[in-house]
Structure 1
Amino acid sequence: MPTPIEEFQGSLSSITIDDFAGRDRPLVIRGLARDWPLVVLARQSDAAFARRLGELDNGTPVDTLVMPPSEDGVVGYNADLSGFNYRHHRVPITQGLQRLAQYSREHSAEGLAIQSAAISTCAPGFSAEHRLPFMGAQIEPRMWIGNKVVTPAHFDEYYNIACVVCGRRKFTLFAPEQVRNLYVGPLDFAPTGSAISMARLDRPEDPRFPRLKDALAAAYDGVLEPGDAIYIPPLWWHHVASLERLNALVNYWWKPVMDGVPATRSAMGFLMHGLLSVRSLSPAEKNAWRSLLDYYLFGDEDPAAHIPDEKRGVLAALTPELAEKLKQIVLRQL
């Protein structure tokens, strides 16, 4: 059985963004967005919520996925992994809401998911009424809207706070080390942009995925109501199930500033470079590289502590100038 996600116990007004820097466990924050006008309306009715959101919509098309009823709302691949199980459209939020209203009256409806809509582009008036005080203005909120759809377990490189605005969502989270038990699909061909688990959590007996039970035994889960929020650490796998006929979520992704340098670079390039340069080496060479990586990248001690500061080269504290130098070295290596 999954373990309930830890819940924040302090004062909501005391939260700062620094509270999440380096935090390596998820956290549910009940009521973080409870006073948002859209949340208040969502508690009244779906119609009141949709009406106000439609007023904020400026008509900019956003990415919208539509799945046939046979897919049970689960975003994923088609049968032979040659493509995905949805049709992709770009429509305004209001049009998506109208389609969701139609589906809510149908017994067997298609799954619809508006994905990662940049709020400043499609609903620029949103942030004036809906904000988290500790989130800087430079952190772009994104909106996710749909009916009873499921996004399989996937991870993001960013720190993530997600606020449920309408409906309920169940989050099932897995620590990064569970990757081998989640049967992840192709890294470079995924329906959500980032790699997803190919195993359905509601089918733990599927013989193709025998280790899924181990992942579920180590999972964390929780159901969020309108106004609740969840913090998801970087690289934690999260499976998100929307439970109502109308659901909406707003999330904030960010990377902290480390040593005065904004951490905007993607570490996925490191993984891809490893596939190119390390994966095909002999077991002995892999073990040797593992020792070097543990020492220079993943260890707690300073690998340059014995070198004078002015002679540390690429092992010096990261600055914008050194970041650029490292980038050029990597490009030359490639």
Structure 2
Amino acid sequence: MIAVDKHVAEHAGVSSREIDPGLLESTTPIVLRGIAGDWPLAQAAKNSDAAFLSLLNDYHSGEPVVTYQGLTEDDPRVFYNHDLSGFNFQPVQSDFPAFCNQLTKDKKLLYMGSTMVDRWFPELRTENPISLSGIDPLVSLWLGNHSRIAAHCDFPQNLAIVVAGKRRFTLFPPDQLENLYIGPLDFTPAGQAISLVDFDAPDFSKYPRFKEALSHATITELEPGDGIIIPSMWWHHVEGLSQVNGLVNYWWRTTPGYLGNPMLALKLAMLSVGQLPDAQREAWRSHFEHFVFNRDEAKMAHIPKQQQGIAGEINELQARQLRAELLNKLNR
């Protein structure tokens, strides 16, 4: 088990009905202790697992859900198999009430991840409201037993609220990527690339730089009604510490959707730039630094603003035109 001494900063007295927009824009993690303590879901969970699951069943639309079911009892992670050629779980289309019943007693990994609330649990948001100052988030429900989700990062901003059980979050700044030993980008257990380090028994001889990552880590444990803001691209490892764990999360981006997902740009750069000879890659590094990472209006001042094109501020029409151009050329 890893040892982390630093705890995530906490902000007390925040209500789900009134959240300071500044908190939602935070670039460092913040625990919002008790933010949803008055939610019926959190209240039911504090009563019993049975009460919580009964309420979830009341919200459920009746449609089957996709769950992950572990292949052995000795590994609670949503992870790979021993040689990274496959996974240590199998996806199963499940009847939700049957899954809930299984969840209360099964020792193997059981996990329902990122299930869209508006489709599968349409009454949940009405009965458990939150005010996000004009943000229109993607809202998901996560449900599992003593499961562990390997460290990963997400592009959107994330407000995660524990609604049942206890969860432990271990977080790392974005710049710790190199020290977390990230696995394949294009073959992942659940969509995002993950750290290959087992946080329960880290192998420092195999992953020596992980010690440096731990020196930058912060940790927190949340109970029903507690929330945490996880800023864009922060690495987070999540452990379910109870037999029944539930979490509702809100994802949103801080830029218009028409600008696209940066992960696509990374993959395209790996395809088109990553295999170039060293000297050519270095030449392209200067282009990326100039046009992407060190953007500055002053650098473009020699071009009339209306003629700066994609080197200036990109509007929706320009984004659509650029996307069409890229698709046309990539399909050749």
Give the TM-score normalised by structure 1.
0.91
Give yes or no for the alignment of 1:76 onto 2:79: yes
Q: Which of 318, 321, 329 is 1:322 aligned to?
A: 318
Alignment root-mean-square deviation, CA: 1.9
**Closer, same or farther in 2 for the Cα pair 1:161/1:263, shift >3 Å?**
farther
Aligned mates of 2:98, 2:243 — CA distance in 1? 16
Query: CA offsets per residue over residues 77-127 of structure 1, 9 Å max, x none?
Result: 111222100021111332211101232xxxxx1110011111111111111
- Name the SS of the counterpart of 1:124 in structure 2: coil
Give yes or no for the alignment of 1:157 onto 2:155: yes
Q: Which runs of 5+ in 2 are unaligned?
A: none
Q: Is the Cα–Cα contact under 8 Å of residues 66 and 92 in structure 2 kept in the other structure?
A: yes
Give yes or no for the alignment of 1:280 onto 2:243: no
Identify the residue that residue 96 of structure 1 maps to in structure 2. 99
Q: Is the Cα–Cα contact under 8 Å of residues 258 and 316 in structure 2 kept in the other structure?
A: no
User: 1:71-150 residue pairs with structure 2 within 5 A?
Assistant: 71-103=74-106, 109-134=107-132, 136=134, 138-150=136-148
Give yes or no for the alignment of 1:15 onto 2:19: yes
**Identity value in percent:** 37
Query: CA offsets per residue over residues 221-244 of structure 1, 9 Å max, x none?
Result: 111111011111111111000000
Aligned mates of 2:95, 2:270 — CA distance in 1? 39
Aligned mates of 2:48, 2:266 — CA distance in 1? 46
Deviating more after overlay: 220-229 vs 209-218: 209-218
Aligned mates of 1:208, 1:67 — CA distance in 2? 25
Aligned mates of 1:10, 1:286 — CA distance in 2? 50
Identify the residue that residue 228 of structure 1 maps to in structure 2. 226
Q: Which of 239, 242, 261 is 2:240 aligned to?
A: 242
User: 1:190-229 residue pairs with structure 2 within 5 A?
Assistant: 190-229=188-227
What amino acid does structure 2 have at the position aligned with 1:295?
H
The alpha carbon displacement at 1:274 in A equals: 1.0
What amino acid does structure 2 have at the position aligned with 1:275?
M
Q: Which runs of 5+ in 1 are unaligned?
A: 104-108
Q: Which of 3, 7, 10 is 2:6 aligned to?
A: 3
What amino acid does structure 2 have at the position aligned with 1:316?
G
Q: Is the Cα–Cα contact under 8 Å of residues 147 and 244 in structure 1 kept in the other structure?
A: yes
Identify the residue that residue 286 of structure 2 maps to in structure 1. 291
**Closer, same or farther in 2 for the Cα pair 1:87/1:252, shift >3 Å?**
same
Give the TM-score normalised by structure 2.
0.92
Aligned mates of 1:92, 1:216 — CA distance in 2? 40
- Name the SS of the counterpart of 1:80 in structure 2: coil
Deviating more after overlay: 185-194 vs 87-96: 87-96
